[in-house]
Amino acid sequence: MLLSSLTFLLLAPISALAQITYDQAHNATPIVGTWTSGSRHVLTGPGFVNPLNLTFVYPQTTGVSYSFTETGFYEVARYRMYGNGSSPNCITGVMNWAHGTYTHNSNGSMTLHPFGDGFQQIQGACFANSDFIEIYNDTELYQSWQIFMDATDGPKLHMFQFDGSPVTPMFHYSQTPLMLPTQQLRNVSSPTKVAKRAITNGTPPIRHVAGIAAVGGLLGSVLLVLA
């Protein structure tokens, strides 16, 4: 362990944007490209999301996808379902998208820094007004990550979240990352209060949620269109 950490440190690039390659502790291959879980239906890029009008294209099945460029940009697309132990029929679906820059940290962890234009749609099966879109701007820390060479599936990326819990292992979908333009794609301003409007049928209430990023005029008019 000590030796591999040392190796990692020695091989770690000076520039946080540079790509780490072929370090035994981490990589069978570089992390650059697009990675996708299980069914391979969830992929980053324009097939998943339209950031301008805050809409998603729902994939056939749930899954996650991450893309990384050689120059330090990332994009993540996630479609997840959460069950409810006390009410088994109350499933919540979450579509989540963000992009930004990533840094490899000297302790082997990786940090994803979002541009601020990420968002997610949350749909609950059982609760009133439980279909809504909100800004998603979380900085994500991954404690560690590794790429194994699978005999049948090729390179597989394993990432471990800030609390050590694993992300579903992902296959290497393409070496060229499938991504939207690596810049902020919608006007967003600094965090303050924003009206979060439910998009369920009927006349939904407007809820004011603190801590969610305020959004510019563009998003404001989009929310109006969605209402």
Ligand X SMILES: *[C@@H]1O[C@H](CO)[C@@H](O)[C@H](O)[C@H]1NC(C)=O
Binding of ligand X by 183 (CB under 6 A)? no
Q: Which of 110, 98, 99, 59 is nearest to 80 (CA)?
A: 59
- Are 59 and 42 spatial neighbours (Cβ–Cβ below 8 Å)? yes
Cα distance between residue 131 and residue 124, in whole Å: 6
Q: Which of the stretches 35-43, 104-112, 167-175, 195-203 binds ligand X when contact is defined by CB under 6 A?
A: 104-112
Rank residues 77 and 155 by Cβ distance to ligand X and give the closer one: 77
Q: Which residues contact 41 (CB under 8 A, 6 or more apart)?
A: 59, 60, 61, 63
Binding of ligand X by 152 (CB under 6 A)? no
Rank residues 124 and 155 by Cβ distance to ligand X and give the closer one: 124
Rank residues 53 and 183 by Cβ distance to ligand X and give the closer one: 53
3-class DSSP state of 162:
coil
Binding of ligand X by 187 (CB under 6 A)? no
Binding of ligand X by 190 (CB under 6 A)? yes
Binding of ligand X by 107 (CB under 6 A)? yes
Give least dist CB 223 to ligand X, A: 12
Give least dist CB 33 to ligand X, A: 24
Binding of ligand X by 87 (CB under 6 A)? yes
- Write b or e for each residue in 19-54: b if 16 or more Cβ atoms lie within 10 A of its Cβ, otherwise e: bbeebebbbbbbbbbbbbbeeebbbbbeebbebeeb
Tokens 């291959």 locate to 29
Q: Which of the stretches 10-18, 27-35, 102-110, 201-209 binds ligand X when contact is defined by CB under 6 A?
A: 102-110
Give least dist CB 208 to ligand X, A: 16
Q: State the amino acid at position 116 in one-letter form.
A: G
3-class DSSP state of 14:
coil
Count of residues in contact with ligand X, rule CB under 6 A: 21
Residue choice 167, 213, 219, 223 for contact with ligand X (CB under 6 A): 213
Q: Which residues contact 6 (CB under 8 A, 6 or more apart)?
A: none
To 10 degrees, the CA torsion angle through 93, 99, 104, 108?
0
Residue choice 59, 72, 116, 155 for contact with ligand X (CB under 6 A): 116
Binding residues vs ligand X (CB under 6 A) = 50, 53, 55, 84, 86-87, 90, 92, 105, 107, 109, 111, 114, 116, 137, 139, 141, 188, 190-191, 213
